[in-house]
A and B are shown apart, each in its own frame.
Chain A
Amino acid sequence: MDGSILIGLYIFVLALFAGAELISKVPPTLHTPLMSGSNAISGIAILGALMAAGNAKEMNITSIIGMLAVIFATINVVGGYMVTDRMLQMFKKKEKVTK
């Protein structure tokens, strides 16, 4: 096992703990936006997709796979963030009405 893998594993495990810590602070009211928001960031695969599509020079099976990866990842990122924002802007606190 070479060094870069070990560093990768360090990062993975530490991020797992940090993630669990942050997420446990999210109140139940926001669980749907949490889900769609974390879903949007899982579209980070787009970084790999961009490399795959960008390394392909002509139309062949590799470039098609790369382009499909970009399409799917973009749907995930754009759709995920927009829908999360749409939900979050609805959460408002109103002034209490008292008579």
Chain B
Amino acid sequence: MLSQNFINFTYLISAILFMLGLRNLSSPATARLGNKLSMSGMSLAIIATLMVSGLSFKFIIIGIIIGTIIGAYSAIKVKMTSMPEMIALFNGCGGAASALVALSEFQLKGDLYGAGMVSQIGGFSMTTLLLSVIIGTLTFTGSIIAYAKLQGIISGQPITYTGQQFVNGLIVLATVALSVMIYQDPTNITFFYLVIGLSLLLGVLSVIPIGGADMPVVISLLNSYSGVAVSMTGFALNNNALIIVGSLVGASGIFLTMIMCEAMNRSLANVLFGAFGTVSEGAAQAAADGPGGSVKGYEIEDVITVLENATSLIIVPGYGMAAAQAQHAVRELGDYLEEEGVEVRYAIHPVAGRMPGHMNVLLAEADVSYDQLFAMEDINDDFSSTDVVLVIGANDVVNPAAKTNESSPIFGMPVLNVEEAQTVIVLKRSMNPGFAGIENELFLKDNTMMLFGDAKKSIQDLVSHLKG
């Protein structure tokens, strides 16, 4: 039907559409169009592939119908607060797909060439096939564990045991050794399944020691892995579309991973192997070194007075806002104050929430205009000239200890300078320390007012008091 050249030409157009799609993501005004361009690139590539002669459609149709139902249902049903989990799961599916395609290619070529497989397809193709299976498989199980941690199915605490890294290292070595043996004897299908088994295990074991608060990094990194797996599959199948897209996704995943690590002032190695979030000696020390003093709880009326006298307000959301589903109430408060002539802005720390940009999505869902959302570096100098800062369910990202206390585990992490504002109002469920288990001296400062309780209820109370 179609010549290979024509199909490759179609893939080129698809690749251009993907690139244009990414370019349109540079502004919220054009982003939706970008996604549609990317979508049409994908459709084009799929249609071209389906026109390859000699394909039987039976299994394809069944597969597409099942996949569409599951994918569409999840995409429609998922809550915006659960977006990190959802993306982790979709990403796991991508990894699994790459691994399965490589596995099928391995079987096909194995049936065709038997023991002469490597010399027929070439050592490079064989290596990329194996890599695709390994990386795709561990992306699959790693993503499932990330999902389970975020969803609370398994504990968000790091799961550690002695010799953990040694065990993981052994598994990596065993996987490599078995892969070399498959390379030498491709007819040994048992070894191939062993490699798959070990990779499944490796995905699980490498994510369980990472704390729930570090999941944004893990999801970004797994995203990058799935891209690499696709590229490797592309090399093995000699398919340029897969190679290009894989490297785009790989680059995007690594980029976000690096942003997250920088925002926490930690190395990737520290995130992956540091088991951050277990209450460490450092944290205990920081608590002991704390400035002392007691936290003053305020009543809603006190907070009202402050808000009524303010002319400028910066709202700092954290994961607590998502957990309390408070974003709509927050927007209502912001709108009311804005109508009263208060300048209202939102300051978003890069690691607020459970994935990059999580807070922005929630506030957009609540109809907050995107030009009111400011990244940390764009607003950090403005706190000193601001009347009131309202911190909603954020903790470590507003902890001044990151700037002043060298023994604090988060020392050196860039934080929002909220304490420079005239008054800081902190909405918090209780005095429990945040994910990192670190005491926050912001709560003890003289210009800080603590308002304890459920964030959503507190804000709704504020709105009804202000209006009434």
Interface residues of A (CB under 8 A from B): 1-2, 4-5, 8, 11-13, 15-16, 18-20, 22-57, 61-63, 65-94, 97-99
Contact = CB atoms under 8 A, between A and B. Distances in A.
Given A35-B256, A39-B87, A42-B227, 18 more contacts: A11-B247, A15-B247, A22-B26, A23-B22, A27-B26, A27-B375, A31-B356, A41-B42, A45-B229, A46-B42, A51-B237, A53-B60, A56-B59, A65-B103, A78-B75, A81-B39, A85-B35, A91-B364
B358 interface: yes
Contacts of B124: 1, 5
A45 B94 contact: yes
A30 B249 CA distance: 16
Contacts of B356: 28, 31-32, 34-35
Interface string B346-367: 0010100001111011001101
Contact of B97 (A2, A26, A72, A88): A72
Interface stretch (B61-69, B267-275, B420-428): B61-69
Contacts of B74: 75, 79, 83
Given A22-B19, A32-B83, A52 B101 contact: yes
Given A24-B255, A34-B357, A43-B94, A75 B70 contact: yes
B59 A67 contact: yes
B131 to A, nearest CB: 13
A20 B97 contact: no
A28 B42 contact: no
B89 to A, nearest CB: 8
B370 interface: yes
Contacts of B104: 52, 62, 65-66, 69
A45 B135 CA distance: 14
B299 interface: no
A30 B83 contact: no
Interface string B68-110: 1011101110101001001100110110111011011101100
Give chain A's interface secondary structure class.
Answer: helix
Interface stretch (B45-53, B149-157, B389-397): B45-53
Given A53-B63, A94-B367, A45 B255 contact: no
Interface in B240-261: 240-253, 255-256, 259
A93 B122 contact: no
A65 B98 CA distance: 11
Contact of B26 (A26, A45, A93): A26
Chain B interface residue count: which class? 35 or more
A15 B244 contact: yes
A27 B27 contact: yes
B64 A83 contact: no
Contact of B68 (A2, A18, A37, A74): A74
A19 B49 CA distance: 24
B340 interface: yes
B370 A97 contact: no
Contacts of A28: 259, 348, 350, 356-357, 360, 375
B238 interface: yes
A39 B198 CA distance: 25
Contact of B253 (A38, A78, A92): A38
